[in-house]
């Protein structure tokens, strides 16, 4: 694991993404809607803590999470 974000990959794939998908199923919405809601909430926290919107956007654009690593329901 060379990237500092690699230490979070198991949490994201095994816990966070399934939680978002399960939440979406429970309330009857699309998983992308639930993911956007979670992203906006987390982005708000990051911006409030001093991350610039430009840095947040650059981080999203530069994200290297590959689809084949995601749980089957998210591919």
pLDDT at 17: 94
Amino acid 56: pLDDT = 92
Q: What is the pLDDT along the chain (75 residues), one digit of tens a residue?
A: 356 778 888 999 999 999 999 999 999 999 999 999 999 999 999 999 999 999 998 888 887 655 555 555 554
pTM here is 0.72
What is the number of other CB atoms lying within 10 angstroms of the CB of residue 17? 19
State how far the Cα of 46 lies from the Cα of 51, in Å rounded to an integer.
6
CB 13 within 8 A of CB 5: no
Determine the pLDDT at residue 1. 39
Position 22 scores a pLDDT of: 97
């Amino acid at each position: 694991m060379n990237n500092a974000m690699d230490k979070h990959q198991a949490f994201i794939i095994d816990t966070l993404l399934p939680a978002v998908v399960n939440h979406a199923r429970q309330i009857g919405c699309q998983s992308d809607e639930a993911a956007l809601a979670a992203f906006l909430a987390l982005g708000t926290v990051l911006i409030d803590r001093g991350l610039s919107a430009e840095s947040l956007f650059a981080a999203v654009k530069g994200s290297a999470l590959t689809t084949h690593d995601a749980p089957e329901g998210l591919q």
